[in-house]
Structure 1
Amino acid sequence: MNAKQAGDFIRALADANPAPETELHFSSPYTLLVAVALSAQATDVSVNKATATLFLEADTPEAMVALGEEGLARHIRSIGLWKGKAKNVIAMSRLLIERHGGTVPADRAALEALPGVGRKTANVVLNVAFGEEAMAVDTHIFRLGNRTGLAPGKTPRAVEDALVKRCPPDLLRDAHHWLILHGRYVCKARMPECWRCVAIALCNYGDKVRVPPSR
C-alpha cells in the first residue's frame, strides 16, 4: 500500500465514523490515565466495569493513595494482571503528587517516567486529554497496520512512525480512534469481517473473508 492509498484507507474510516471517541470511561486526565493503565491486556468493557465503582471512591491521586493497594485491589480483581496494576497505580499516583502537585503532566517524558506508563499509554493521554496529534499503537493497530499493508512494522514504534508519516495531517488527531475501533470490531484477530470493511478495496490482506460465515 503506497502513501496515497494509506491516506485513502484512513479517510474511508473517517467518513464512516466522523466523531470517534475512546470507549474508556473517564472524567479527568487523571481518571483517563488510570483507566488506560488498567486496560493493558484487558478489555475496555472490563476496565469500565471496575472503574465505575473505583472512581466513586478515588478519582484523584490523593484519594487513590489514601485508598492504597488493598483498597484498589477490591475494585480491579476482575482485570488481568491486577496485582501489578494496583502497585503501579498507587506508585504512579504518589509520584504525581510529589512531582506534579497531583496534576497529570501534558509532557511525554514526564508521563513515561511514571510507574506503569509506557509510550502507548502516554500517547492516549496526550491525545485524548490534551488534544495532541499522538498515535497510540495497541495490539489492534499493530495487527491492522501489518495485515492490511497500511503501516507494516516489526515493532509498535515502527508502526506508529509509519502511521504518523502516512496519515493525512487533518485526520491525525483522531486516527488512532478510527484504527483501534476498526481493529476491535471489523479487522478482528481470528477472523476479519472483511465484508463489513469500508476500506476493503485498499487492503492488501491476501485472505479476505468477503462473505459472512453461514450460521
Structure 2
Amino acid sequence: MVKPYLSEHDLTVPIKSLPETKRIVCLFYITILSDHIPGIDQQNWIDFGFCSCKFGSDHLGEIEERRLADLYKELIIQEDCKVDEFHDAYLSGTILDLLRKYCSSNNCNWLSENKIEVRGHNQPNKSVYDLKQYALSESARLVPSVNVDYGFINCRTESEKRQLKHTYRKLIKTPRFDPRDLHYACIAGKTFDYVRSILPNEGLKANLFKNPYPLKEID
C-alpha cells in the first residue's frame, strides 16, 4: 500500500530495516491510506496533530480528526507526496507547512481556524495534549509532565486520581473546551479557575488542581 510512495532505494530494502522515524511515517501512510486515524493511545495521535482536534459531536468525537485525516489523504493521494518529503517535514517539524503548500485553500483555512498543531518528531509538545490522551484513553499512561502540571501528583488515593481523570474527561468532551485555553490557564497557575468556568456545577476540589506555576523568574 505504501510502496508507490517509497523511493527507489527504499523499495529495495525491507521496511523494518529503514530508520525508525521513516518506519513511523510508513505506518502513518498505511493508516491514512486505509481510511483510518491513529488510535488515541498511539504517539502518532499526538505527533501528527489529531490531539489538537476538538472532541466532536459524533458518538466517537472524531469529526475533526476525520477532517484532518482527509487532509493527509489529499496530500498523499492527490498531491502524490512521497514518503521522503513527508519524512523530512516530520523531522523538521514542518508538516503543517507541507499541508499548506499542497492542500486546497479551504483546507488551509480550516487548519488555521481550528488551530491545528502538528508536532513532528521530538518537537516540543504542550502537556495538555498528553493530558487529553490520558483522560480519553483507557490505556495511555500518566506521564510525569501531566502528573505535575494537572494535579495528579496532589491525589492521595487512587480514588481521587480516578475522579480527577473523570473530571478532565468530562471537561474535554464539553463543546466550550479548548486545549490551548487550558494550557494557558495551567502555566498561569489557574487550572482550577478554568475548569470551574466550564464545569460550574461539578464538585471540584481546588487543592487537586494546584501546580508549580507560574514559575518564578530567576534573577
Structure showing greater radius of gyration is 2
Between 1 and 2, higher relative CO (CA 8 Å, sep ≥ 6) is seen in 1
Q: TM-score, normalised by structure 1?
A: 0.37
